Chain A
Amino acid sequence: DAGVIQSPRHEVTEMGQEVTLRCKPISGHDYLFWYRQTMMRGLELLIYFNNNVPIDDSGMPEDRFSAKMPNASFSTLKIQPSEPRDSAVYFCASSSSGLSTDTQYFGPGTRLTVL
């Protein structure tokens, strides 16, 4: 079975540009999570969805960040306008339930560089 798919794997953009990261969760998983990994802050949860509905977006750093999940097989994380401090690896993960018992499976990540 295919794992979590993310695209692009690498993105280089200039400050002020809009960036869209994409994620396809594992089929049948109804929870989707977006994480950001930086050297300074480590791995942090940005937002997560259940059945396409955002449940907790308290980790979203500011209004420049937005996430959507229009259907069960696709989610986007958008940054507009991007800034150099947004440079990080962004991971998408999915799980089959919201219970703490379940395991989150991660995608390969998108390495974002904002110049």
Chain B
Amino acid sequence: AQKVTQAQTEISVVEKEDVTLDCVYETRDTTYYLFWYKQPPSGELVFLIRRNSFDEQNEISGRYSWNFQKSTSSFNFTITASQVVDSAVYFCALSGQGAQKLVFGQGTRLTINP
């Protein structure tokens, strides 16, 4: 069975601090895909990134970066110089080979205080 664990239920930091959101996954598939979604207070789910199991290169997009390590089954997300607008619930998700069923973690509620 596939499983995604986001151990941090809530994180609160002061603006401009760096913050890392942890994601650990379990799967028996050799090919799989990992995702991060953002759910701001308005409620919608916004796609941030997709990563496949063959590509362990880190990804950087502006203040966002992702660290994928197969050895530890982790796909962590770092926000550099956080801003109040980054406040949201962030979900890590996994899909395996075959059908595109997404399995979500429980989410991490991130609060950036001014």
CA distance A45 to B45 in the complex (A): 14
CA distance A104 to B100 in the complex (A): 9
The reply to whether B47 and A103 contact each other, CB–CB distance below 8 Å, is: yes
Chain A interface bracket (under 10, 10 to 19, 20 to 34, 35 or more): 20 to 34
The stretch among B18-26, B28-36, B58-66, B74-82 that forms the contact with chain A is B28-36
Q: Within 8 Å of chain B (Cβ to Cβ): is A102? A: yes
Query: Of all chain A residues, which has the CB nearest B50?
Result: A103
Q: Chain B at the A interface: mostly helix, strand, loop or mixed?
A: loop
Q: Within 8 Å of chain B (Cβ to Cβ): is A105? A: yes
CA distance A111 to B32 in the complex (A): 31
Q: Within 8 Å of chain B (Cβ to Cβ): is A34? A: no
CA distance A23 to B95 in the complex (A): 23
The reply to whether A100 and B44 contact each other, CB–CB distance below 8 Å, is: no
Q: Within 8 Å of chain B (Cβ to Cβ): is A109? A: yes
